[in-house]
């Protein structure tokens, strides 16, 4: 009510005036449809109307003053005024019949008719004001309802926006988790490759060091052989020089001491034999050293081959382990993708599957199918690989898969799992 008063003050004021007027009319108890003779003549009717409002009383006085008076009635006789119902005296006992009252003149009847029309117009005006106030109240109520509906619609729209934001946030979180997983896998792969490269580099360095060591040993052996050859050459030259000196001395003393020459020759032969034996021992020592060096080289090469084989085996084992781990991750990812999309595919096929008559409810079949991008079944690719024992049931599954095309499948790299796969169908 207070809202209506603030929004429509004039309508509220007219409504109050209308109620007040109706209350006054109810208190007066005037029946406008009763005839004049039933209420005691024109004068009594005027008296009742004069009690309604001061404005009406003034108009009645003016009409009465302007109306001509009957000859039998004095000019100064006032019109009787009926007292209020609460002040009326108890009804007096009937009096003897009095002479009939004078009949109203046409002017008086016209004045009464005009007054009745004014009162009817006043009632119509009050009623129209009341209807306007009621209409204003209805309009206010409808406006409140429309405001409530708009508020509810705005609340629903905000709720939909919040729901969309939550869905978008969950999708962003899922993409971030996938990206983090891919980064972790990429880091693990890079670390494994770096470890392999490090081991290969270390092995290359070891081999280079071993090769440098072998080269140094070969160089040392060559130097030792050159030194032995030099010593042998010097010894041979010395022997030759000694032999020449001995031959010269022998020629000088040839004629003097044959016997001494013979003794010197014998001594020389002994010296030569000793030198030959020394040279033979030196040669054998050099051969023994060469043999030991050759054995050391062969043992070094054998160790290198063993190290190469061990390194190759270690690298193969590491590569196998990494391949197995990658295969396990790929298998887990494929299983996760299958767990998410295979039930959706089965549900889609069930929508188009029609159970053959007389087929049991515990049947199941496995079919192989190939899909194109977007989930479209490749024509003629659906074939049964594990039948249910009921040809009609197996054929109904093939028909349902072809009708259900396109099937719900993921996009991107996850779709590779569904390019050629087996589907187990159970009603």
Same domain, 187 and 313: yes
SS3 408: coil
Question: pLDDT higher for 320 or 219?
Answer: 219
Residues of the chain with pLDDT > 70, as a percent, come to 83
Task: Give the contacts of 29 (CB within 8 A, at least 6 positions apart).
Answer: 85
Same domain, 212 and 356: no
Task: Assess if residue 288 is contained within a domain.
Answer: yes
Same domain, 245 and 267: yes
Averaged pLDDT for residues 220-237: 89
Q: What is the pLDDT of residue 246?
A: 84
pLDDT classification of 2: cutoffs 50, 70, 90: low
Averaged pLDDT for residues 341-369: 90
At 203, list the tokens.
């092995």
Q: What is the pLDDT of residue 5?
A: 65
Block residue for tokens 């129209």: 128
Q: What is the pLDDT of residue 414?
A: 82
| Domains: count for the chain | 2
Task: Assess if residue 7 is contained within a domain.
Answer: no
Task: Assess if residue 204 is contained within a domain.
Answer: yes
pTM score, whole prediction: 0.29
Averaged pLDDT for residues 26-36: 57
Same domain, 358 and 293: no
Same domain, 322 and 351: no
- Which of 334, 421, 330 is CA-nearest to residue 375? 421
Q: What is the pLDDT of residue 192?
A: 86
The Cα–Cα gap between 318 and 322 comes to: 6
Averaged pLDDT for residues 184-199: 88
- Domain with 417, as residue range(s), is 341-425
Same domain, 224 and 319: yes
Would you tell me the crossing angle of helices 106-253 and 9-28 to the nearest 10 degrees? 150
Of the given ranges (68-82, 170-184, 250-264), which has the lowest mean pLDDT? 68-82
Task: Assess if residue 215 is contained within a domain.
Answer: yes
Domain finish residue from 297, 330, 363: 330
Same domain, 376 and 317: no
Residue 345 burial (CB count, 10 A) = 22
Of the given ranges (26-40, 57-71, 214-228, 332-346), which has the lowest mean pLDDT? 26-40
pLDDT classification of 329: cutoffs 50, 70, 90: confident
Look up the CATH number of the domain holding residue 353.
3.30.1150.10
pLDDT classification of 365: cutoffs 50, 70, 90: very high
Domain finish residue from 300, 330, 360: 330
Q: Which spans in 353-417 are helix H?
A: 391-404
The Cα–Cα gap between 301 and 51 comes to: 144
Averaged pLDDT for residues 370-380: 90
């Amino acid at each position: 009510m207070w809202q209506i008063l603030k929004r429509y003050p004039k309508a509220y004021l007219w409504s109050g005036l209308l109620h007040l007027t109706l209350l006054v009319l109810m208190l007066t108890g005037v029946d406008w449809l009763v005839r004049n003779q039933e209420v005691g003549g024109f004068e009594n009717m005027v008296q009742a109307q004069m009690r309604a409002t001061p404005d009406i009383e003034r108009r009645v006085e003016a009409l009465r003053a302007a109306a001509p008076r009957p000859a039998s009635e004095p000019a100064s006789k006032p019109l009787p005024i009926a007292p209020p119902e609460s002040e009326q005296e108890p009804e007096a006992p009937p009096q003897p019949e009095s002479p009939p009252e004078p009949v109203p003149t046409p002017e008086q009847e016209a004045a009464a008719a005009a007054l009745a029309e004014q009162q009817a117009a006043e009632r119509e005006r009050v009623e129209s004001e009341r209807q306007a106030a009621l209409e204003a109240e209805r309009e206010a109520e409808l406006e409140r309802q429309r405001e409530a509906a708009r508020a509810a619609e705005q609340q629903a729209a905000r709720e939909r926006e919040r729901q969309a934001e939550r869905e978008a946030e969950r999708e962003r979180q899922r993409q971030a988790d996938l990206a983090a997983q891919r980064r972790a896998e990429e880091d693990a792969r890079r670390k494994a490759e770096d470890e392999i490269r490090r081991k290969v580099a270390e092995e290359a360095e070891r081999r280079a060091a071993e090769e440098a060591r072998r080269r140094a040993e070969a160089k040392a052996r060559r130097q030792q052989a050159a030194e032995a050859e030099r010593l042998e050459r010097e010894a041979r030259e010395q022997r030759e020089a000694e032999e020449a000196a001995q031959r010269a001395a022998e020629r000088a003393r040839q004629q003097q001491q044959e016997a001494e020459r013979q003794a010197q020759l014998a001594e020389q032969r002994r010296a030569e034999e000793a030198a030959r034996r020394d040279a033979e021992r030196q040669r054998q020592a050099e051969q023994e050293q060469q043999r030991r060096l050759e054995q050391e080289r062969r043992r070094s090469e054998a160790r290198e081959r063993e190290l190469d084989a061990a390194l190759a085996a270690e690298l193969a084992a590491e590569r196998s382990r990494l391949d197995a781990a990658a295969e396990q991750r790929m298998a887990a990812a494929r299983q996760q993708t299958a767990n998410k999309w295979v039930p959706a595919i089965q549900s889609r096929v069930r929508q188009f599957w029609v159970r053959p008559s007389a087929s049991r409810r515990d049947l199941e079949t496995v079919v192989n199918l190939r899909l194109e991008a977007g989930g479209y079944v490749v024509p003629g690719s659906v074939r049964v690989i594990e039948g249910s024992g009921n040809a009609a049931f197996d054929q109904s599954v093939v028909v349902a898969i072809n009708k259900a095309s396109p099937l719900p499948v993921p996009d991107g790299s996850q779709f590779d799992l569904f390019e050629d796969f087996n589907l187990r169908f159970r009603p």
